[in-house]
Every structure is written in C-alpha cells, then in structure tokens.
Amino acid sequence: MMRRPGLRSLARGERGTSLLEAMITVTILAAAMATMMTAFTSLTRAVHHNEQRSDAQRTMNLSIDTAIRDLRAAQQLLKSTSTHTATTELVILVPTDSGKVSTVRFGMSQDERSFVRQELDESSNVISERVLVAAVIDTDEAVFRYFTSGDTEMEAGTIDAETIQKCTVRVRISLRAPIENGESISSTTDVSFRNVRPEQVVCP
C-alpha cells in the first residue's frame, strides 16, 4: 500500500511553521511598516514645508517685481516728511497708460503689518491700496536704503530728506516675512532709476 506524501514528510522529522515563528514574522513586518510610515510622514512634512516656503518666496518676489517696475518707470522721487519716514516708505511719480502721472507710495500699511502699494491724490489721500506682502516682520529695520551715483549710502538720521530726494539714483528694498514654525523668508533687491536723474547739487 502506498503512503501519502504528507505522512512520509512528517515521518522524516519535517514540520510546518509554528505559531511563535508566525508571531515573530508579523512583529518584524509591523516594525518595518512603522518605520516606513514614519519616514513617509517626515518626507510629506518636508515636502509641504518646502512648498509653503517656495510659495511664500514666489509671492514676495512678485511683490518686489511690482515695486521694481514702478521705480524703473518713475519720473521723480518725492521728498519724504523725514529721514525716518524715508526708510519705511518711498513716494514716486509714475506715468500711466493714459499719459497722466500718478503718485505712488510703497511702504508699510497703517497698522505697520503689511507692505502695500498705494495711489495718492493731490492731497496725499489714498485713492487705492494693494497689499503686496500681507505680513512683514522687523519693520523697525530700514525697508528702503538710498544710494548716490558714487554708490554711497545715505543713512537715515545723518542725511536730510531733501538730499535723499535730490541725490538718489539707486534704491535697495529689503523685506522679511514670517512662515510656519517661527521661520522667515527675506528678499533684498537693488533698483536703479532709469528716468530720474540727480539734481545739480553736492551729494554725499
């Protein structure tokens, strides 16, 4: 009579997987899955953080580009009310498509939280306002710095507002905005006036 293969295998001392071995295998697989999930979660957070940082930087760069276009097209830099004001705001005359000239102010909003572009009327009242950067930090620092044709910076507090108006040929714009986790992004850009020429005065 022929024996069944299974019986012959058992007779030779071979055995199947025990419950303990199965539990060990499951534990190892679970640990591996947990490690993979942790790595995946960390990667997802890193990707999200980088995307948010890139979006914020892109928004700031677009805002700076708006200021650059107006500064390059400006016909005149207007005098600030004080040297302190000159570091946080800049007022220029910009030609419009209709052939007229618009008074444009770049600077901090009334609550000093946002960087804005404003169009002003003849009495310096705000006609329209556009928020360029919704949240700006370190507003006590100079947003605008002014340079002469000799590349000399006219520092606020040492140079009067009239000299800044008459001698500026280049402006440096510096902004810093917060993002998540207490981090921040910053942008610094130098813009040279194309249509504004320094007046015939003695400049620093």
Q: Considering the domain boundaries, does residue 101 fall inside one?
A: yes
Q: Assess whether pLDDT exceeds 50 at residue 129.
A: yes
Q: What mean pLDDT do residues 142-147 have?
A: 90
Q: Which pLDDT value is given to residue 10?
A: 45
pTM > 0.85: yes or no: no
Q: Tens digit of pLDDT for each residue in 16-34?
A: 568 888 888 888 988 889 8
Alpha-carbon distance 168 to 76, whole Å?
A: 10
Q: Which pLDDT value is given to residue 3?
A: 52
Q: Considering the domain boundaries, does residue 10 fall inside one?
A: no
Q: Considering the domain boundaries, does residue 19 fall inside one?
A: no
Q: Which pLDDT value is given to residue 24?
A: 86
Q: What does 120-186 look like in DSSP terms, one character per residue?
A: E-TTS-EEEEEEEES----TTS-SEEEE-TT--EE-BTTB-HHHHHHH--EEEEEEEEE-GGG-EEE
Q: Which pLDDT value is given to residue 111?
A: 83
Q: Considering the domain boundaries, does residue 200 fall inside one?
A: no
Q: What mean pLDDT do residues 117-133 have?
A: 92
Q: Assess whether pLDDT exceeds 70 at residue 1.
A: no
Q: What mean pLDDT do residues 109-129 have?
A: 90
Q: What mean pLDDT do residues 118-130 have?
A: 92
Q: How many domains does the chain have?
A: 1
Q: Tens digit of pLDDT for each residue in 49-108?
A: 788 788 888 888 888 899 999 999 998 999 887 666 888 889 999 998 888 899 999 998
* Average pLDDT along the chain: 83
Per the structure, the complete domain to which residue 139 belongs is given by 44-192
Q: Considering the domain boundaries, does residue 110 fall inside one?
A: yes
Structure token pair of residue 58 = 């892109």
Q: Considering the domain boundaries, does residue 7 fall inside one?
A: no
Bridge partners (DSSP) of residue 198 are none
Q: Considering the domain boundaries, does residue 11 fall inside one?
A: no
**How many angstroms from the chain centroid is the CA of residue 96?**
28
